Structure 1
Amino acid sequence: MLSGLLRLNLSHNLLSGGLPLELMSSNSINVLDVSFNRLNGNLHELPSSTPSRPLQVLNISGNLFTGEFPSGTWEVMSSLVSLNASNNSFTGQIPSHLCSSSPVLAMIALCYNQLSGSIPPALGNCSMLKVLKAGHNTLSGPLPDELFNATSLEYLSFPDNGLQGILDGGRLINLRNLVNLDLGGNRLNGKIPDSIGQLKRLEELHLDHNNMSGELPSTLSNCTNLITIDLKGNSFSGELQKVNFFKLPNLKTLDLLYNSFTGTVPESIYSCSKLVALRLSANNLHGQLSPRIGNLKSLVFLSLAFNNFTNITSTLQILKNCRNLTSLLIGTNFKGEVMPEDETIDGFQNLQVLSISNCSLSGKIPLWLSNLKNLQVLDLSSNHLTGAIPSALNNLHFLSALNISYNNLEGPIPNGGQLSTFSNSSFEGNPKLCGPILLRSCGSVEAPTISTTQLSRKAVLGIAFGAFFGVVLLLLLVYFLISGKSLITGSKTHNNEDVEASSHLSDSEQSLVIVPRGNGETNKLKFVDIVKATNNFHQENIIGCGGCGLVYKATLPDGTKLAIKKLNGEMWPMEREFAAEVEALSMAQHENLVPLWGYCIQGDSGFLIYSYMENGSLDDWLHNSDDNANSFLNWPMRLRIAHGASMGLSYIHGVCKPYIVHRDIKSSNILLDKKFKAYVADFGLSRLVHANKTHVTTELVGTLGYIPPEYGQGWVATLRGDIYSFGIVLLELLTGRRPVLTLSSSKELAKWVQEMKSEGKQIDVLDPALRGTGHEEQMLKVLEVACKCVNHNPCMRPTIQEVVSFLDSLDPSLQMQNSVEIERI
């Protein structure tokens, strides 16, 4: 480092305009970092007559720069060591003279731009270059032979471009220092060369989603430092035994999805004790798993579906020893076998996803499934299962997705618990099943039922997802209780009528803590009123189940409908460090935020009281409809819902102080009242952003398909992250599709829309039910905004206030939507 020079760090501010020429041409700055601002325009051209500058590090990533890279700028930066221009909108080709101008250049990062053309052969002259990243552009052509002359390269990353040709084994040997090779998402063909074994330092190998084929070279075993092997989405074949996995003790991810591998699972794989993810689905593997798979104590994700494995009972008995498994996909195997009812299958306590579909299995749904208390997704569809649905499945309180369709099940669907929260699509294709969910009477064998109003599917899922909104407010109550302050006061007397109604609770006459509303409401509820209104929390009044407890419908004597969430003692969170955030959230009140009435604690249970949302969640209307006219949202209704949700989000982003990052914006967290007015719900994952900060660093949370890419890269939660998630919601409204198109491939809606848009097929992404209705021009305008919201560069996303203004401009009546009743079609 040159002495007497400055390091100027202006990153993560709200700077706008162009990059001042004085900074670029300064003779006193050797590190210039202006990343993640809103700088825009073209970079200034520095004339070749300018004296060489001492600049060593230039980081302009995460801005709004456009145009081509100016050629003269680099010619006067002979000291440049690191250039990071990722996450902008630069066009044109990669500058070919970077290394000739800056012979000490060690890092070039140009990811997430709009660069095109071929990779310049001159990059091979970068004798000091260690990092070359240019993923997510539109580059084409082969990897130039000259590139392999850059023998110092450690990271070579060009994913998601249009590169073609083969991986030349003779040239690959030169890159012996490679640690990370990422060429996924291109159009490469041919085999993996035997010379791959010469890359002794290689840790990450990503060749997924190409057109490669052939057998895996046995020399791959020589890359003993490998941590990740990702080859999914190719046409590789042959037996896996050729690769000696015994030599790969550090392997954590082996992803071979969607290839044509044959044979059995090699014994050597079971020696990879650090393996976290093993994905072998959609190949031609057969046989049985070895009991040695129980040695994989770190295994979290196992995917074996679409193969030809046998003996499901033995497989499950073996896999139960993998105590850390959270996802198990073993469907389309085990043809003609019987679903095991063996109660000794008692493992899988951490399992969250279980899929055993399309296997033609017979027998009954086993009771041991009800012991999987953490299960969130259960898919037993397209088998030949018989008998009744076990009522014990109602004990799976975290279950959010169920598919037992197309079997031979019979009898009533058990009432009053978790199973009542699912739509008829979860049970269709079972002609002998009956119950209110299917609108099919059970006759003399019908179990006690709930009215269709009580089982309104729209209310069920909507309240289930929305109820967690108040959990954070309950934490405030915990804070006060811990600090010795009482929030619950009132009479402790009981009468005989109340004692019977609340025998399992204490102090049922106490008043609930009422959250003050802006309209001056002061009415006080007593807990006994809630007990009576829910018939002592009878199962007939269960309308949903969230992450921390059951949700009940309550109708007060005056006809007011409420949703009551009962949080069981060990399930609701107690973290005191959230107390300050909860206090602020209790002040966030807006007509497009779901209203919280009050809360209290009785014994070891907490209770949260909300306004009842008759039409449930947007997710349910878009993705769980009954395929009839009364379950269809036309475009004007969808637009009004988008506008209402944007208004709620605009309030927490720009009005309440401090601002709030929601972190879990999704269609299931947008609730609809009887007039289809939209409410943002579920602030259980939210974080505050104070005025002097632009982001918060936190753990990675959220929902698959909605999580902004920057969260996964740096666990940085920002208001712009919420914009990404809201953009996904807009795409759902436009396309009618889910945010993840298929669970098996994890292909996301945003990527599919962007691909279709790049091919000029914008009209084809619109929901077929909306085409031809005369609103196409308006929908395509919203599509443009949605695509801006899901831009990989956070700084290129609009603010929510800009989105609101745009929606207002489409239809001025949207500004009055809260006073307009929206009727069903």
Structure 2
Amino acid sequence: MHLNIPGNNIAGEIPGEGLANLSQLVTLNIAHNRFNGFIPSQLFSLKKLQFLALGFNLIEGTISREVGNLSLAGLYLEKNFMEGKIPIEMGNLNLLQRLVLSRNKFSGKVPLSLSNLTHLEELLLGDNMLTGEIFPLVQNMSKLGRLDLANNSFNGTIPEWLFDLENLKVLYIGENHLSLKNLDKAPRCEFQALSLPSCNISGHMPLWLCKHTQLTLLDLRDNHLKGTIPVCLAEIKLFGILLSGNKLAGSIPPCLFNNRKLYNLWLGRNKFTGPLPNTVGNASALRVLTLGGNNFCGQITESISSLSQLLLLDLSENSFSGDFMSTTFSPNSSLAFVDLSSNRLTGPVPMTFSASIEVLILGQNEFSGALPQNLTS
């Protein structure tokens, strides 16, 4: 009844004839292997099948129209090489709770029949080539908890009612041709992840975000947001704050770096000013810190060198000044990418990084003296 063999590095085609003999099969999970070829038609004759997980393989081809013959509650096909249109017959799966088709090459419009799937709790279609309007199909899906439409070519206006879906916790809809006027209206749901990059959002950062205490990811990159970062955001233990490519100004609240869970902080290409807070080094889990393309000034705080997990540091295109040589990173530092270009840094060329660094960009500063000998290592 249940065949679960995920993550075993199994290669070859899916054995259709053998699986067809398992007439009592309820669960088939062969995800995270190296299966290739097409989905065999015999799978669609398994009348009792409720859970089908084929994600993270090398499967090609299209979704057969026979998929509508099944009584699935969960269908997972993510991270394969599948293509073509989503079949109309998918709308016959009226018991479906989770539909995961992300990270494939599906194209065309999503069929209107998907509006029949009123029991859906997860609809993940991100990273495909899907087009057309999507929200009229979602309106009746009141049980949705996760919605991922990111990185497609959907168009239209993001409706206000989307934020009235009380069960919605994870929303990824950026990198399309969608627009949302602003984020003024407080949602009825409580987000755990909110990702709306490139959605033409204007206005100030909404204060209602501070009430979403379960929020771990906030991604509002490449919009038209203005004003300052709300200090109350520091009280939420966010893993990722991605706000680059807006019109945000003012200084970074020093308390933002007291979050020891903060993993990614992207604030590049804004209008931030002032010196960096000395509290930067408190964010001990920080892996990516991008502050390029702002108006920061003053000396770069030495506390940055205590970020032992940091992989990428971008401080380019600001007005930082002074000698960076005093900022010494550990020889065991994880730092792989450093961009300090287009500032007003002076003194010797800094070589206070781990020898494992891969990219070091120091141009358009005011460094002087000879190139250091240890550059050769």
TM-score tier (shorter): 0.7 to 0.9
AA aligned to 2:157 is T
Question: Is there any run of 5+ residues in structure 2 with no aligned partner, and where?
Answer: 341-348, 360-375
Matched, 1:179 2:179: no
8 Å contact kept, 1:356–1:381: yes
Where does 1:555-704 land on structure 2 (aligned, <5 Å)? Answer: 615=331, 617-620=332-335, 622-623=336-337, 631=353, 633=355
Q: Aligned in 2, Cα 1:351/1:304: closer, same or farther, shift over 3 Å? A: farther
SS at 2:279 equivalent: helix
Residues 229 and 248 of structure 2 are in contact (CA less than 8 Å); yes or no, is this contact kept in structure 1?
A: no
Contact 1:370 1:395 in 2 (8 A): no
Deviation at 1:331, TM superposition (A): 1.0
Letter of the 1:310 counterpart: I
Determine if contact 1:265/1:285 at 8 Å carries over to the other structure. Answer: yes
Contact 2:305 2:328 in 1 (8 A): no
Is the Cα contact below 8 Å between 1:229 and 1:254 reproduced in 2?
Answer: yes
| Distance (Å, rounded) in 2 between the aligned partners of 1:318 and 1:328 | 13
Q: Structure 2 matches for 1:196-345, cutoff 5 A?
A: 196-249=90-143, 251-289=144-182, 291-297=184-190, 299-305=191-197, 307-313=198-204, 315-334=205-224, 339-341=226-228
Counterpart position of 1:457: 329
Give the root-mean-square deviation of aligned CA atoms: 3.4
Q: Does the alignment pair 1:429 with 2:317?
A: yes
* C-alpha deviation, 1:162, in angstroms: 2.3
Alignment of 1:349-498 (within 5 A): 349-352=235-238, 353-359=240-246, 361=247, 363-365=249-251, 367=253, 370=255, 373-374=258-259, 376=262, 377-383=264-270, 385=271, 387-389=273-275, 391=277, 394=279, 397-398=282-283, 400=286, 401-413=288-300, 418-419=303-304, 421=306, 425-430=313-318, 432-436=319-323, 438-439=324-325, 452=326, 455-458=327-330
Separation (CA, whole Å) in 2 of partners of 1:263 and 1:357: 24
Structure 1: runs of 5+ lacking an equivalent: 1-105, 440-451, 459-614, 635-732, 738-823
CA contact (8 A) 1:218 1:244 kept: no
The reply on whether 1:190 has 2:78 as its aligned counterpart is no
Q: What letter is aligned with 1:193?
A: P
Q: State the one-letter code of the partner of 2:200.
A: F
**Which of the pair is proportionally richer in helix?**
1
Deviation at 1:420, TM superposition (A): 6.1
Which secondary structure state, in structure 2, belongs to the residue aligned with residue 151 of structure 1? coil
* Matched position secondary structure for 1:139: strand
CA deviation after TM superposition for structure 1 residue 318, in Å: 4.8
**Preserved CA contact (<8 Å) 2:175 2:199:** no
Report how far residue 366 of structure 1 moved.
Answer: 5.2
Return the TM-score normalized by structure 2.
0.78
- Amino acid in the other structure paired with 1:275: L
8 Å contact kept, 1:372–1:396: yes
Partner secondary structure for residue 42 of structure 2: helix
Report the AA paired with residue 408 of structure 1. Answer: N
Which of 38, 43, 46 in structure 2 is aligned with 1:142?
A: 38
Q: Which residue of 1 aligns with 2:59?
A: 163
1:493 equivalent in structure 2: none
Q: Secondary structure at the match of 1:205?
A: strand
User: What CA distance in whole angstroms lies between the structure 2 residues aligned with 1:378 and 1:365?
Assistant: 14
Whether contact under 8 Å (2:234, 2:255) holds in the other structure is no
- The alpha-carbon deviation at position 181 of structure 1 amounts to 0.7
Q: Is the 8 A contact 1:349 1:373 kept in 2?
A: no
8 Å contact kept, 1:294–1:319? no
Instruction: Decide whether the 8 Å contact of 2:59 with 2:80 is kept in 1.
Output: yes
* Partner residue in 2 for 1:154: 50
For the 8 Å contact 1:223–1:248, the answer to whether it is kept is no
Tell me the amino acid that sits aligned with residue 276 of structure 1.
K
Give the letter for the 2:273 counterpart.
Answer: G
- Partners of 1:194 and 1:238 in 2: CA distance: 15
Instruction: Kindly indicate whether the alpha-carbon contact (under 8 Å) linking 1:108 and 1:133 is maintained by their aligned counterparts in 2.
Output: yes
Given the two structures, how large is their TM-score scaled by the length of structure 1?
0.38
Query: 2:77 corresponds to which letter in structure 1?
Result: L
Q: Which amino acid aligns with 2:103?
A: H
Q: Kindly name which structure, 1 or 2, has the bigger radius of gyration based on alpha carbons.
A: 1
Contact 2:328 2:352 in 1 (8 A): no
Partner SS for 1:197: helix
Which structure has more strand as a fraction of its residues?
A: 2
Question: Matches of residues 500-511 of structure 1 in structure 2 within 5 Å?
Answer: none
Q: How does 1:792-807 map to 2 (within 5 A)?
A: none
1:164 CA displacement: 2.0
AA matched with 1:130: V
Q: CA deviation at 1:295?
A: 1.4
Q: Distance in 1 between matches of 2:201 and 2:32?
A: 41
Do the aligned partners of residues 291 and 143 (structure 1) sit closer, same or farther apart at CA in structure 2, a change above 3 Å counting?
Answer: same
Whether the 8 Å CA contact 1:325–1:348 is kept in 2: the answer is no
Please tell me whether the aligned partners of residues 181 and 205 of structure 1 are also in contact (alpha carbons under 8 angstroms): yes
Structure 2: how far apart are the matches of 1:372 and 1:275?
Answer: 29
Identical positions, percent: 23
